[in-house]
Chain A
């Protein structure tokens, strides 16, 4: 799918008229089109802002990078008809979600349409109809993996655990998938990034790996051959670890930004596995 086709679709969209299916966005079709163009040009502009829409953000960020034309069609469909499709993923947000008026300081209007629609359309139990909703915004690993499958990504793999933190060998496998060209979404406790203490027992945030994982400054590729044995290596547990992730509208948020000297064992306390796709 081409970048040029995506741009052409948005240009055509901008020339049409008609009220959108999201009447309270507070911006014109033309401004919506320009914001959409910005994200096609620069996918990291897709930003969950203050919402809890990290799952849709990591999924759509990767769709934007890989299949910008699919993303453009999805967004144009949502705006014009209230229904968007990516592959076989059919997204129909509810009336409350479409009628919500996003506060620009919370989340950009175009990002609200992209992210909240996906979450609301996929959420059978909890509505996602306000930026302040937290519970309705949490994306379970199976849901994220299902979105990638429906969007025609291949080799979809869900290696997560909701209740227990994962281990180094799983992070090494995630790194192997990343360096082989897969999209890798890590399921973590957000406090790993913010530097806050506690909450190591609840995974509450999705990020997309944007650099290889390094241990003591070196590639972890060599650890892959050791399999689960790396989990019992006390020396390795105390080693320093670093990698970058896409999160909160930033391409390369260093996992060590608020945790200088982060060790493998501390990192693993906040790590609950990954969803990968290619």
Chain B
């Protein structure tokens, strides 16, 4: 029986209280998904990233050291629509502002127009990083402990690097950025665009961190499985919960009222205001990668399985089999009703749902 501690209260949460099945392996509900396209990346380019374009029928698959290949969803097409090479290890690759955002471990970040095969903008942070990301509006780029305002090509405030950085995430509204360290277990929150910083020692080594969509709550998972919540900008602790020792990802629902904590066996959903675990879903096999967008959650397993859940209705929407190899990248798009995944051998596929 999992138990949660919020604001000093210890609450026993019965699995029987969960709706839609807690910890069960439910059957998918709804119409089967439609396979749109299956593609194969170069055999040597082990995929690390998959991203679905928000507003057009394309998806990308990026290898650990490139290339970034852009594929149309049309099964009748042959080959990829474009390919971008990478001169180093890829920290992040995703569609942004009509182009492709690409960040390399060595410090270079670039926005590519893949249709015109040219660089739209670029910046070199001139240092190595472990994490990089771009905010949803393409206004800010975060790399390690630094933040770049794209339009002005100026770094915002002083960099705050953390050894063994384990998390780097913008809030959906783009107003804050959270960064966290594992071996250097600090949490750093930066307000945007001001660049104002707040930092504090976490109660343990931080494995993951996330901001609520409105940027008012920071969630972090610790090495020991503890989940901790803080209010922003006050920094006031909101409570803690005990979770799985190996958290794989954290994400909030669009309202910021639920926190999803993925682990190797599945995921738990914590209702933040009511201090309850409301749903637990387990998968067959070992969950390796996880993605969320709006109310849709996606996971890939080391056994080649791909899962899609709908958080709002606490239902398993689909269970697919990409291949028999480990799924190493997954993405889901609520707006376009798409899920895409890639395995370690370079097989990738995109499906749609109604």
Contacts and interface: CB of A to CB of B under 8 A. Distances in A.
18 contacts: A26-B326, A26-B344, A27-B64, A28-B44, A31-B44, A34-B65, A50-B164, A50-B166, A50-B223, A103-B288, A190-B183, A193-B163, A194-B184, A194-B185, A247-B163, A248-B184, A249-B163, A250-B163
A258 B183 CA distance: 13
Interface string A42-63: 0001011110000000000000
Interface residues of A, number: 30
A199 to B, nearest CB: 12
Contacts of B46: 26-28, 31
Interface string B6-44: 000000000000000000000000000000000000011
A95 interface: no
A247 to B, nearest CB: 7
A249 B89 CA distance: 16
A115 to B, nearest CB: 14
Contact of A49 (B164, B185, B223): B164
B207 interface: yes
A249 B48 contact: no
Contacts of B302: 101
A8 interface: no
Contacts of B207: 50
Contact of B43 (A28, A45, A247): A28
Nearest to B63: A31
B128 A45 contact: yes
Given A48-B183, A249-B164, 16 more contacts: A26-B328, A28-B46, A30-B44, A31-B44, A31-B65, A38-B89, A47-B164, A49-B182, A50-B166, A50-B205, A101-B326, A105-B166, A196-B185, A247-B183, A249-B163, A258-B184
Nearest to A54: B183
A195 interface: yes
Interface of B: 43-46, 48, 64-65, 89, 128, 130, 163-164, 166, 182-186, 201, 205, 207, 223, 245-246, 248, 288, 302, 326, 328, 344
A154 interface: no
B184 A193 contact: yes
Interface string A242-278: 0000011110010000100000000000000000000
Contacts of B185: 194, 196
A141 B288 CA distance: 36
Interface centre among B45, B64, B185, B207 (most CB of A within 10 A): B64
Contacts of B65: 31, 34
A31 to B, nearest CB: 6
Contacts of B201: 194-196
Contacts of B344: 26-27
Contacts of B288: 103
A249 B105 CA distance: 13
A132 to B, nearest CB: 6
A26 B329 CA distance: 12
A253 B163 contact: yes
Interface in A201-258: 247-250, 253, 258
Contacts of A142: none
A87 interface: no
A105 B43 CA distance: 23
A248 B43 contact: no
Contacts of A48: 183
A112 B46 CA distance: 17
B183 A50 contact: yes
Nearest to B88: A38
Nearest to A253: B163
Contact of A104 (B45, B48, B223, B246): B48
B245 A31 contact: no
A88 B126 CA distance: 39
Nearest to B181: A194
A248 B44 contact: no
A268 to B, nearest CB: 21
Interface in A165-197: 190, 193-196
Nearest to A248: B163
Interface string A101-137: 1011100000000000000000000000000100000
A132 B64 CA distance: 23
A139 B205 CA distance: 20
A10 to B, nearest CB: 15
A64 B128 CA distance: 19
A194 B202 CA distance: 11
Contacts of B328: 26
B52 to A, nearest CB: 21
B73 to A, nearest CB: 26
Nearest to B248: A103
Contacts of A28: 43-46
